[in-house]
Amino acid sequence: MKKLCTFSPWQRVEATVLRELLEREGIACLVRNENLFSAMGEIPFTECFPELWVIDDEIYPRAKLLLDGWRAAGGQKRRAWTCPHCGETHEGQFGACWKCGRPRNQE
């Protein structure tokens, strides 16, 4: 197992979305600390950070590439957007459609 990235506690939704996108690409992964948010204050703050892990080390480079692409696309444009493929509306921070998996910049 290899850690892809660490999220801020308030990015928990993004961590879940990215996990689903990776799974759609056939990449087995999991989010750690996903459910620890409510325990904040009782355990060290940093242990509450959601983490995205890839199960298979060999797939890690591909997963990392996909993830970087999605996040880069999301960083360029922060406005809410509509997926041209399925019509789903997304918050500006998402670089890919959570519904059909299309990257945002393929319009």
Please identify, using beta-carbon distances, which residue of 50 and 101 lies nearer to Zn ion: 101
Q: Are 32 and 76 in contact (CB under 8 A)?
A: no
Least Cβ distance, residue 5 to Zn ion (angstroms):
23
Phi, psi of 7 (to 5 degrees): -110, 160
Q: 2: which strand partners?
A: 54
Least Cβ distance, residue 100 to Zn ion (angstroms):
3
Report helix angle 60-76 to 12-24, nearest 10: 130
Binding site for Zn ion (CB under 5 A): 83, 85-86, 88, 97, 99-100, 102
Please identify, using beta-carbon distances, which residue of 12 and 90 lies nearer to Zn ion: 90
Least Cβ distance, residue 17 to Zn ion (angstroms):
12
Please identify, using beta-carbon distances, which residue of 31 and 96 lies nearer to Zn ion: 96
Q: Are 81 and 90 in contact (CB under 8 A)?
A: yes
